[in-house]
Structure 1
Amino acid sequence: MERKPLRIALHPDASSQWIAGVLYVQTITQALLTVSKSDRPESHLLIRRSYDGSHYSALRKSANSIQIFDDDLGTNKLKRLEKWGRTILKNQPRPQTIEGCLRKTKADLILPCRESLGSQFNSPWIGWIPDFQHKYLPGLFSTQELESRDQKFQELIDDSTHMIVSSQMAYHDLLNYYKAEPENVSVYSFRTHADRVWFDSNPLKTANKYNLPEKFLMFPSQFWQHKNHLILLQAIAIIKERVQQDICLVLTGQDQDYRAPEHPNILKRYISEQGLDANVSYLGLLPRQDQIQLMRRACAIVQPSNFEGWSMLVEDSRALGKIVFLSDIQVHREQNFECAHYFEPTSAEALAQLLMDYWSSLKAGPDLEAEMRAREANTALMQRSGQKLMEICRKTLAK
């Protein structure tokens, strides 16, 4: 008897303030597209109305359907009727619940859920915890947030049908810090899909659009404290002072950190005080296509982060065949990227020396041969990723 393809509801639940959450679900949809046609699941995208926006445009294209649901309507029927009544009077769309969206799509399960849907939810659901950063860098969190994250994560583990994490490190952290059965947790290490359209554009044209020099390093990342921008800026200052007056670093991403609102300004002041205005170009949050073209054009990528659950920047670089200067942390080692050069993330001197050692041999991109090799390897990586995800979904539904 022919097996019926699964219907999977995808639940990014990510606002424009957390683009990585949307990109993560994009990696899932692309992995599922590599599954053989006879077994390939339908994917139905669930978007919270208050989070909807242009950051979902690429993800929308890869889904079989788009369902919009409203923020927590609660379970009180009277309150739901009152809200529906108000929306009718205001000629607004009738509120939709996430349960209603699932009924429309006839989805078999929903993933990845960062918030608990409850132990009595009427469909199987897979929880996802991106990382356990608060266990390693507690100083970046308030006491209240530390307690809240622990409570939220344990609730997610208790209520979910199954759990996924992105690395072996996170798998061991989950079992070490929380009450969980090992068989109820799977490791799903996402991979970036090397999209064909990325290689149809001219990266030089994009670099010229932003008035960038011939040769530059790049670090595309939001200005979170744990991303360790300051060490990178200190390394650039050392290099400028000692050997390379015209070294250039390009920074992209949102200049926000809700836990430390002053942090982005500290970084900008450092750039100014050290006389690095001509050496550091901050371009803000770019369209994904522009970001990728600048990565292709860059002579190398730098990823100095103090902590990652599974670095999307490393996976992006792998898909593009880029050289990466990478902080020597456990997850980066687990990602096992052959084009990486590692440095101690607390030492600006070590990073500066590493960059100086390689600077003269680095060339502006794109390196077409490296890209071709990376794209060939990416096909197999994405296929394995799709197979792994299907195994997890089948395992979840078998419970």
Structure 2
Amino acid sequence: MHLGFVPVLSGSGGGIHQYSLTMLRSLMEIVREGRGHELAVFANDLQHPEVVRAGAAGCSIHPLFPPTLKWKLAAAVQRCVGEDRAAEWWTRRQFAKAGSRSADGVPEISVLPDPARSWFARCGAELMLFPWSSTLAFESGVPYIFTIHDLNHRRHSEFPEVSADGEWERREYRYRNGIRHATLLIADSETGKEDILEFYGDCGATAGRIKVLPYRPVHAGESAVSEDERERVRELYGLPPRFIFYPAQFWPHKNHQRVVEALALLRRDRGLQVETVFCGSHGGRLRAGTYRKVMDTARTLGIRSQVHSLGYVPEGDMPGLYAAAEALVMPTFFGTTHLPFLDAWSSGCPVVTSDLRGIREQVGDAAVRVDPASVESIADGLQRFWREKTLRHDLISKGQRRLSRYTSSDYREKLEGILQEAGSRMIG
């Protein structure tokens, strides 16, 4: 079968970017093993190292959209006005064009007139695989597999990043139509599968159509991070000898605010000065506002010198940062599963995270779990790592054992099984 694949290549894509790379590398292995598949990669950046690597491995490489004047103009407009404004305009346009709507007012458009509709097919794709919930899936007219990473706009609509400025409607348009017309659906966990069935059973989501493909870190199974590499990143970023690490974009649900408040509590009430390193994008109106609030809070509480923010960090530096840290701290309000836990375990870093549905199942006993709404609970978790040396080593061992239960071969076999079932459904 001739497969088409649309990866998320920008590092600002966070976990979905990492998920894309893992899936792309596994697809390349499946093709290389000669199991009857060919792979076409569609990308905006044809010079990206992963795309170049795919081309060298025998995959065909194509631009994401046909090189027409219309799409060149659309890309130029997005660069000028910004992604947020372009996305808001797009949502309003979809609502205006929609001929029919669901009971909650969401446009029910199965296929839009779009040059991409014929583009994927013209490039030979018989089945498209999307590692993210892209509208291109159902707008292109080619059979597809649709990946759903979270439905937090349904679980946590109180957070503006999943509900404000048309975002809730954009997600509903994407999920309702993507689910309705997909050959198969992919969830990253059994909890994610439960959510799809709960919220989108009316769109044709059934247990048989949803396949679970858990996360697998890009660097999992590689050699241990050397002390030289740890020292290199410490020197490169000017890091303190001991620190906790939180790699996350500055969305409100990531909860950086309470991490800073927990640091202040530890210093004021318990005499502990814990240094923290944040990395992740704070571009865009909402993330920029969150970043300012977090840093202003640190300054007001007198701990600004304890908070280090690195911005975007290249993928190659991340294993060294994890390995150098005392712990990954991630008191997020969102489930269901998260790649940073796996990256941390792979690099020999223990985890402090939220005691939430989905996360409990992912980390088991290989993490200290805290209440993300409680500053005192977060502080308690951090204090344990700062003072209990044996706890750190114990959780690193448990995390690595947990990681070893799901190998790259396991991931690849699950992915190939999904492709085979999709092919059978297309024939049937």
* Cα separation, partners in 2 of 1:269 and 1:377, compared to 1, 3 Å: closer
TM-score by length of 2: 0.76
Pick the aligned partner of 1:162 from 176, 180, 184: 184
CA distance in 2, matches of 1:225, 1:70: 31
Whether 2:411 is the aligned partner of 1:385: answer yes
Deviations 1:229-269 (A, max 9, x none): 11111111111213345321110011135546522211111
The answer as to whether partners of 1:68 and 1:101 remain within 8 angstroms in 2 is no
Pick the aligned partner of 1:138 from 157, 160, 164: 157
Which residue number in structure 2 is paired with residue 225 of structure 1? 252
CA distance in 2, matches of 1:305, 1:377: 21
CA distance in 2, matches of 1:359, 1:277: 19
Q: Aligned letter for 2:53? A: K
CA distance in 1, matches of 2:269, 2:37: 56
Match of 2:305, SS state, is: coil
Which residue number in structure 2 is paired with residue 129 of structure 1? 148
Which residue number in structure 2 is paired with residue 264 of structure 1? 291
CA distance in 1, matches of 2:22, 2:127: 20
CA distance in 2, matches of 1:181, 1:257: 34
Q: Aligned letter for 2:172? A: D
Deviations 1:36-83 (A, max 9, x none): 935385543211x3xx388x434642564363435588xxxxxx6x75
The answer as to whether partners of 1:108 and 1:124 remain within 8 angstroms in 2 is yes
Whether 2:366 is the aligned partner of 1:339: answer yes
CA distance in 2, matches of 1:299, 1:213: 11
* Cα separation, partners in 2 of 1:53 and 1:20, compared to 1, 3 Å: farther
Deviations 1:192-211 (A, max 9, x none): 13263774661112112211
**TM-aligned CA deviation for residue 378 of structure 1:** 4.0
* Cα separation, partners in 2 of 1:84 and 1:107, compared to 1, 3 Å: same
Which residue number in structure 2 is paired with residue 185 of structure 1? 210
The answer as to whether partners of 1:14 and 1:22 remain within 8 angstroms in 2 is yes
Instruction: Please state which structure has a larger fraction of its residues in helix.
Output: 2
**TM-aligned CA deviation for residue 123 of structure 1:** 3.5
Match of 2:408, SS state, is: helix
Match of 2:352, SS state, is: strand
* Cα separation, partners in 2 of 1:122 and 1:328, compared to 1, 3 Å: same
Whether 2:378 is the aligned partner of 1:351: answer yes
Alpha-carbon RMSD: 3.4
Which residue number in structure 2 is paired with residue 21 of structure 1? 16
How many pairs are equivalent? 371
Whether 2:49 is the aligned partner of 1:57: answer yes
* Cα separation, partners in 2 of 1:249 and 1:139, compared to 1, 3 Å: same
**TM-aligned CA deviation for residue 395 of structure 1:** 1.0
CA distance in 1, matches of 2:269, 2:151: 38
* Cα separation, partners in 2 of 1:122 and 1:263, compared to 1, 3 Å: closer
TM-score by length of 1: 0.81
**TM-aligned CA deviation for residue 330 of structure 1:** 1.0
**TM-aligned CA deviation for residue 115 of structure 1:** 2.4
The answer as to whether partners of 2:46 and 2:52 remain within 8 angstroms in 1 is no
Which deviates more from structure 2 when the two are superposed, residues 220-229 or residues 159-168? 159-168
Q: Report the identity percentage.
A: 21
CA distance in 2, matches of 1:288, 1:42: 28
Structure 2 portions without partners, runs of 5+: 74-114
The answer as to whether partners of 1:247 and 1:279 remain within 8 angstroms in 2 is yes
Which residue number in structure 2 is paired with residue 67 of structure 1? 61
Which residue number in structure 1 is paired with residue 175 of structure 2? 153
**TM-aligned CA deviation for residue 377 of structure 1:** 5.0
Structure 1 portions without partners, runs of 5+: 1-5, 74-79, 87-95
CA distance in 2, matches of 1:85, 1:153: 27
CA distance in 2, matches of 1:370, 1:139: 34
